[in-house]
Amino acid sequence: MIDWCGALPDRERSYVICLGFFDGVHLGHRKLIEEARSIKDSRGWGICVHTYDIPPQKA
């Protein structure tokens, strides 16, 4: 289990969270992060991008 919530600067704020195995920020990952940023901006939330260090196939 990975505890990443403690890394959020303001735990009382709402966040858009991107979870995934980001093995380099290629076009697909960039699009996902841009969409999260758009939601963040429209709602005034924070953003958190969390990546795993093990590919899903090996988990």
What are the per-10-residue average pLDDT scores of the chain (59 residues)? 58 85 84 93 90 83
Q: Domain residues of the chain, as ranges?
A: 5-58
What is the pTM assigned to this prediction?
A: 0.70
Tokens of 36: 């999260």
Alpha carbons 46 and 14: distance in angstroms, whole number:
6
